[in-house]
Structure 1
């Protein structure tokens, strides 16, 4: 570094250390840092960040390292206590690291060690998003894997140690330095001001230090007015940075460059004694920490994701950093390519017109170049025809982006992480930041392995995949997953490392521990189901032992009814997954027997809410018994007939709430154990004038509520007539009491079913062949041959028949029948 004695306009001697105050994740700052380092040629580069990561700096030059990435620090004894320092390609710190590695210059981190910041968190309230943060520079909840240290938090977006946020004045209101500076310049938007003065400002030759000098002067004025803002953590961090800076100067002389948040620059420039700085650091708590590189994503860089140092538009900023010339034209071309891929009609003329409109808007608004707001307005008007729907796609895919970083295999990692990476490569299941659906056929070995891995990770709390509803087959051999890899999952993997060194062993240990601490019987049965899905045979003996003990001691029928469906579902997995479920069958059959005995007395004298909950248990047990009968062990045969006896008992007891009695009748009718006439007789008894209207309405809800109830009334007009006659006879004073219950029952039907019921009631149930019914489609007294004949030509084409067929031909009759059915 060339040392000159003259004092430049910034008011400092160039023999002093080169302090480059930046905005984290700012492409303009990143370009300016690169230009300043090229011009100054320092002998050492000091960067705001945890010193424990010094040994990881050389990995930034690895060809497999691709930002966005983040430094992850976590407490060894408590992996969930963690902090991130994210870096994108356009982060000034990343540019400084790469410059130092390319020029073989030492690079070091000088912020407060993570060992202190993580320990500091332990003694503070860790409330996500609270204004007073727990640790130095930790805006988010570190226990949730979203904590951030040094270069990754307030220093970043409007952050207190960077130009974007600042101290807190005496009245306790946090100030926004960018907002203050923007307001002073006459801007009402700090983001737009930053773009105009930094992001759109070119760095001329010999002028590389000018932006840093101006920004330092501005921050010095703000620090003089507002001080440290009452943040003791900033004072401690800055004291540590000054000590590290002095040490580097003793080793390298004045030829040292420091890249840090601009908010810190005045404090690092300020003269302070070693004794005073060490006094601030005395007695700081400390924990043992591990640190590594982890992949990061653009979405986690976005402020909308909840990360405290985020930016609104990481994809846009990445484009500004990468596009050295014609950024607007190149951006519009990207947008056009995306919209064309989504089958939007976008031509080169649209691109030209959008660029012209963006430039015109920038000129009207007094901006040096079009910014994100101008390009967005132009895209909406020209390429999206005023619609925000395609514009939302542009924002999601390009303005934010779904870029997922990559770290080299040489980066330190816990053994569990290594085993997970091997499994991902073996199963060809690549982590991606964009959400996607994965269809699995468990009859295929690779898909079965993917299913096992995802279920085991869910047991460990690593929610990489979430089960989704299959759009195709509903068989047990098919699964659908919704996958999305988030950076926090790296913390979850590190945290799960305490359970084992492989995914299988860790999931087994975690399942056994969860079974011991499970609060209820249903939790244990659910855990047994998850163990079968994850194929953890070593965990099943422990889980089954605890399940049997809990089932034997639990006398609450509702708990037993809640636990049975999960056990019965688990029995079905043996066919596809090859899992031995014999032990489960015995426990499930025993639970069913106890439910049969205890359910009738448990259904007596229930209030409305308890009755509704018991009705849901009744449905669940009914479905479980139907599946269990085939898998029941010897000694538990004929479960279905005994269950039907329980339903008959429930349907005839006056002490049982009407909603349960009605549901029991409905289940018997669906199983063919009750004739239509008998069901109508029971409904007639319940809807007789002697029954209170509220009880009758509850019975109706149980009988025709839920799936299929509306179709039952559509196809059995005798039942519909009973309901209609009862409803018209309800006294006026009681009608307002039963109306909410009836509306809840009938509003659950599909729109088509409700419309058909309305048409039937309008013409009168039971009058299917009456003249008034002729206008109701599908309810005529006889088949309408003329209407069927009208569609015969189309049906013949669908059946592949050419020409007319004789009237008596069987295929013509089939065609007519198909037309009528259609």
Structure 2
């Protein structure tokens, strides 16, 4: 080597990775310098550990503010990872030389506080409009944690591959999609989120206040309309052979192109790049003093001209003087292929990490091996795919590549061939292929020796002891709380949810709806490591942290419903120490809150929580006393609260009515409360000042509980649908009584008197009022099952069995309907019921009635 070997790359590409490895093999440098945070030097040796499985990432976070963090992801096909493993495998010193994370995180905090995404300094760009800060961005080089929806350019779907995807043999094959180039698509290092340190020139305004795309500028200069085609022809294909077989030729060509752009655009509008490059030059000088010129540098191609620039040490140090600094900690964490994808919001993302990983790993015949993977996936999904399909798809992909002037088939050609041969022209199976293979759900692993906060270590221990392995692929688990191991899993997931570590999400299970079963949807995301670090301020174990967080939330909560929901969480998470604090806060809030709506919102959560005493062996006596007190106060205040409400208020109160009715049915209290609630419902049905939807709903609840005779229900309906009642009020009563999916349709099917009343009222509505009540009626009856609507239509066509006055008419022999209850047929089900439930005949005495 006659001087430092500057290997400019674009992150995360198999071609770049292979080219770096070939160049290092040829040069055999005495030291390797890599663009990355110097704090990671102490962790580099872990990259050679047998437990280390990429993709992984370096995670740095501020000690005093763990939520301020940044990642440096590395895949197996990342050039930086290849250089790192090359050096470790040959006992060659390796170092990170980028701006320390201590400065980068501090600069990001300062910019966020100032409402800007970069430091504003006097210069040619003074007066240019700064970019708005990327949400949650703290990326000092390669990545950031997206705390909100990805930007428009980050949402580019990986399901729309580029027509110029890399061929397997190309040395620098990681490129963005040309269909919709993002603002940073021209950055040869494919760096970070716009405005973050390390972002390329295209993520900031040029001298004219516009974003630049270096590849587009070079392609236009060369007379190319398609920047990606220029990149392939000039860099990729010509660089694959190199001059005289020199593996360093592609890097030299790319360095010359970047030097020309830096001469035109300077630092591209990113002032922080000046500090970063100054720090890199200082580290390069230090390495050259120690090892001579046998130094190799692997960095973003945009930085190569700056590293080759002749500057003084004094000038570089001046650029670094006065930079803010925070205390940081760093570790390795697992990463996923999905989080390497551009659509995830990762600034240096690629469209197809799974495809790139395949190209890097395939020893030969990459297209044939890829088609085999696709066939295996489709077969697992019960699609008919044979060996002949694979052979024909390979032939078609190679033919398409030849027709398009490609040396080998890329992702676009293979996708087109798969669609035509294996998917019968349909894009539906392609969505599965893109999700599982093109992007992929590979989750990396890190050694146990990697540093971690105490809370993370406790969580890892619990995951292993409970056999609840974190996985990148979303899956559902069914838990039976009667089993000790499943109950422990449930407690862990609920405690993590309370700590805002969203590993699991409760879902409605497909099995039993009993309280002893739970269903969870699990998916581990790399950002959860940051959430765990943030939660570490509450304690060193999951139990202690969840307890402290619950106690703090209870003290600071102001809304009664918030405290009741917290009490439910404490019971689910089995936090007895925190429950006492929550119960005291609950009693205080309940005593001060006189709003019936607030009380009605709080009661259902308490009623649900009381059921967990049997399932989880939790003492809920204190909770029962508070719930009973709330129910009694609701019984007193609900009737006055239901009077003189508008339509929106009535709809909201109807929801409260249903929730309270269900909750009181769950409370293990004395019969007096249930009887008192029945009296409240009776009062609501007879008050004219109560909106029709509430009166109708109260009548329906009484009827379902057996507290209202059918004749009385028919009388109430006839009164509500009388000629003196406004049509809109009558329609609201119908909605409350038989509306929604609560079985109202079946009630009309089996009680033709009620159906006759509704039919007679509907036909008597004046034409001018019918258009006003039609939307309400349509909403009422559209919620019925199709079979119920069809049966009602047949009954109405046949003619109802009740006259407008409510007098019953003779049944017409409709199949499945009778004039009354057939007790003999009802009793016939008892033997079968006894066998199913395993109980004696005496326990079923009178059940048939």
Is the pair's TM-score, using the shorter chain for normalization, greater than 0.5?
A: yes
Residue matched to 1:144: 147
2:746 to 694, 711, 731: 711
Going from structure 1 to structure 2, the CA distance change for 1:312 and 1:49 (only over 3 Å counts) comes to same
The equivalent residue for 2:684 is: 650
State the 1:225 CA deviation: 2.5
Once residues 756 and 299 of structure 1 are traced to their aligned partners in structure 2, the CA distance between those partners, rounded to angstroms, is 50
d(CA) in 1 for partners of 2:773 and 2:697? Answer: 18
Match of 1:798 in 2: none
What TM-score, normalized by structure 1, do the two folds share? 0.88
Partner of 1:219: 258
* More divergent stretch after superposition (606-615 vs 64-73): 606-615
Q: Which residue of 2 aligns with 1:120?
A: 107
**Partner SS state of residue 144, structure 1:** coil
1:756 equivalent in alignment to 2:791: yes
8 A Cα contact 2:36 2:98, kept in partner: yes
Question: Quick one: distance in 1 between partners of 2:204 and 2:400?
Answer: 35
CA distance in 1, matches of 2:465, 2:249: 53
Aligned with 1:555 (options 577, 594, 604): 594
Equivalent residue number for residue 13 of structure 2: 26
In the superposition, relative to structure 1, how do residues 472 and 20 fare at CA in structure 2: closer, same or farther (>3 Å)? same
Residue 539 of structure 1 aligns to a residue in which SS?
helix
CA positional deviation for 1:348: 1.6
Whole-Å separation in 2 of the counterparts to 1:164 and 1:364: 36
- 1:15-53, CA deviations, whole angstroms, 9 ceiling, x for partnerless residues? 2x1110001001101000001011111111111111111
Q: Residue 759 and residue 177 in structure 1: after superposition, are their counterparts in 2 closer, same or farther (change >3 A)?
A: farther
Q: Which residue of 2 aligns with 1:68?
A: 55
Aligned partner of 1:168 in structure 2 is 205
Distance 1:240 1:359 in 2: 47
Match of 2:673 in 1: 639
Secondary structure of residue in 2 paired with 1:80: coil
Higher relative contact order (CA 8 A, sep 6+): 2
Partner deviation per Cα, 1:326-360 (whole Å, 9 max, x = no partner): 11111111111111222222122111111111111
CA distance 1:407–1:193, change in 2 (3 Å): farther
Whether 2:260 is the aligned partner of 1:260: answer no
Post-superposition offset of 1:131: 5.8
Partner of 2:725: 691
Q: Following TM superposition, by how much is the alpha carbon of 1:82 offset from its aligned partner in structure 2, in angstroms?
A: 0.5
Q: Please give the alpha-carbon distance, in whole angstroms, between the structure 2 residues aligned to 1:612 and 1:187.
A: 63
SS, match of residue 466 in structure 1: strand
Q: CA deviation at 1:535?
A: 0.6
Deviation at 1:254, TM superposition (A): 1.3
Runs of 5+ unmatched residues, structure 1: 4-14, 148-152, 783-822
TM-score (norm 2): 0.85
Does residue 671 of structure 1 match 2:705? Answer: yes
1:355 pairs with 2:394: yes
Query: Given the superposition, is the C-alpha separation of residues 664 and 771 from structure 1 closer, same or farther in structure 2, using an over 3 Å criterion?
Result: closer
* Distance (Å, rounded) in 2 between the aligned partners of 1:165 and 1:322: 32
Tell me, in whole angstroms, the C-alpha distance in 2 between the residues paired with 1:179 and 1:302. 23
Q: Secondary structure at the match of 1:604?
A: coil
Distance 1:444 1:128 in 2: 54
Do the aligned residues in 2 keep the contact of 1:295 with 1:406 (CA within 8 Å)? Answer: yes
Match of 2:378 in 1: 339
For the 8 Å contact 1:380–1:391, the answer to whether it is kept is yes
Q: Distance in 1 between matches of 2:69 and 2:138?
A: 11
Contact in 2 for aligned 1:73/1:292 (Cα 8 Å):
yes
- The separation in 2 between residues aligned to 1:192 and 1:465, in whole angstroms, is 44
| 1:239-297 deviation line (CA, Å, top 9, x unaligned) | 22112111211221111111001111111112222222222222211111110000000
Does the CA-based 8 Å contact 1:402-1:434 persist in structure 2? yes
CA distance in 1, matches of 2:563, 2:497: 16
Residue 82 of structure 2, aligned match among 79, 84, 95: 95
Query: 309-318 or 719-728, which moves further after superposition?
Result: 719-728
> What is the total number of aligned residue pairs between the two structures?
759
**1:718-737 equivalence runs, <5 A:** 718-737=753-772
Structure 1 residue corresponding to 2:22, chosen from 32, 35, 46: 35
3-state SS, counterpart of residue 623 of structure 2? helix
Candidates 536, 541, 546, aligned match of 1:507: 546
Contact 2:116 2:133 in 1 (8 A): no
Whole-Å separation in 1 of the counterparts to 2:769 and 2:294 = 91
* CA distance in 1: counterparts of 2:701 and 2:375, whole angstroms: 57
